Amino acid sequence: MLEKRVRRQRKSNLMFALMLVLVIIIIAVLLLWNPQTATARDAATPSLPDTAAELEAATLAKVGSMAPDFKVDMFDGERVTLSELRGKVVLVTFWATWCPPCREELRYVQADIIERFKGKPFVFLPISRGEEYGTVAAFRKRMGYTFPMGLDTDRSIFAKYATNGIPRNFLIGADGRVIKTTIGFDKAEFVEMVKTIDEVLESK
């Protein structure tokens, strides 16, 4: 009788230990998985349109149309208004620090765009989409970037130009109309963009 009671007690203790381990695992999973964090991570994932039709639908500022006007706070505290740059060719680039193709594109900016068109009626206007000052500041320091950057913290500027997908480039002519748009980063396409800027500036 005593042996049966001991066996039952051991079995009960084992079941309790197993249940305790299961509860600990469930609690750990709940603590590590935060729905808000998961949503933010999903939203941050680059979502590039797969087809020409999707690309067209996701691009709100079309080639040939007037570029939507905006005011953007720059990293150095200055405020830039797009319409006040009329008369100059402007390359507006939407990007983010977490975006690999954005970071890849920025590697070529200093030599291929900023230095190449220095002294010409051209403005390179990169705008960080949906990120706070501190995030951009840390990224700039880590990468050694010193060129001007705009901050579109609430994505309100981006919303005038597209519904999704970065990096995005909008080349705007001196008359304020969109000349060319690109999405994502492709070196050949980037070279073509630089060539187009050259041609537009030569024709001014």
Nearest to 152 by CA among 85, 97, 87: 97
Residues 82 and 168 in one domain: yes
User: Does 36 have pLDDT greater than 70?
Assistant: no
The separation between CA 119 and the C-alpha centre of its own chain, rounded to angstroms, equals 29
- Strand segments (E) across the chain: 71-74, 79-81, 89-95, 122-129, 150-152, 168-172, 178-183
pTM equals: 0.75
Residues 100 and 15 in one domain: no
| The pLDDT value given to residue 44 | 40
Sign of CA dihedral 57, 59, 63, 67: positive
Note the pLDDT tens digit of each residue in 163-199: 999 999 999 999 999 999 999 999 999 999 999 999 9
Residues 102 and 10 in one domain: no
Percent of the chain with pLDDT over 90: 69
What span, in angstroms and rounded, lies between the C-alpha atoms of 139 and 96?
10
In a domain, 160, yes or no: yes
In a domain, 47, yes or no: no
- 3-state secondary structure at position 140: helix
Residues 74 and 124 in one domain: yes
In a domain, 45, yes or no: no
State both tokens at 199: 């041609």
The most distant pair of C-alpha atoms in the chain lies apart, rounded to whole Å, by 103
In a domain, 46, yes or no: no
In a domain, 144, yes or no: yes
Number of domains in the chain: 2
| The pLDDT value given to residue 203 | 85
Note the pLDDT tens digit of each residue in 48-87: 555 667 777 889 999 999 999 999 999 999 999 999 999 9
Residues 121 and 24 in one domain: no
Q: Are strands 150-152 and 122-129 parallel, antiparallel or unpaired?
A: parallel
Residues 141 and 178 in one domain: yes
What span, in angstroms and rounded, lies between the C-alpha atoms of 41 and 38?
5
Nearest to 146 by CA among 121, 170, 115: 115
Residues 101 and 134 in one domain: yes
Question: Domain range for residue 67?
Answer: 52-202
Residues 88 and 20 in one domain: no
CATH of the domain at 195: 3.40.30.10
Query: What φ, ψ does residue 164 adopt, rounded to 5°?
Result: -165, 175
- CA distance from start to end of the chain: 103
What span, in angstroms and rounded, lies between the C-alpha atoms of 91 and 171?
5
Give 51 or 110, the one with higher predicted confidence.
110
Provide the mean pLDDT of the chain.
84
Rounded alpha-carbon distances, angstroms, from residue 138 to 5, 134, 146, 192:
65, 6, 12, 31
